[in-house]
Amino acid sequence: MFELDLGDPKTFWLNAANIALGVVTVACFAVVAWGAGVEVLARLRRRWASYMGEDEHVFAVPGLGTTMADGGERVKKEHDTEE
């Protein structure tokens, strides 16, 4: 039914072009899937960081979403030595 004869000079370039386009298509799908996966993981990490308390001035309020208690500027505590 389907026969791939790369030795046939009449269809060699057609088959070679189809194989190359298939490889490029699979590579494009892989790149898009990789980018989407990285983006989803980055968003999940940010969300988990806000819920786990890693950022001290971001609060998750039900019905309101994520709020910043001080407008986005970090509040220094007495024991913080970072500048």
- The yes-or-no verdict on residue 26 having pLDDT over 80 is yes
Residue 66's nearest CA partner among 76, 51, 45 is: 51
Q: What digits encode the pLDDT tens for the residues 30-82?
A: 999 999 999 999 888 877 776 665 655 555 566 655 555 555 555 566 665 55
CA distances from 62 to 14, 44, 67 (A): 59, 18, 10
What residues does each domain of the chain span? 12-68
Query: What pLDDT does residue 64 have?
Result: 58
For the question of whether the overall pTM of this predicted structure is more than 0.85, the answer is no
Give the mean model confidence (pLDDT) for residues 11-32. 93
Q: In this structure, what token pair is assigned to residue 72?
A: 């986005």
pLDDT band at 3 (very low <50, low <70, confident <90, very high): confident
Query: What pLDDT does residue 46 have?
Result: 79
Tell me the residue ranges of DSSP E strands in the chain.
58-61, 65-68
Residue type, 48: W
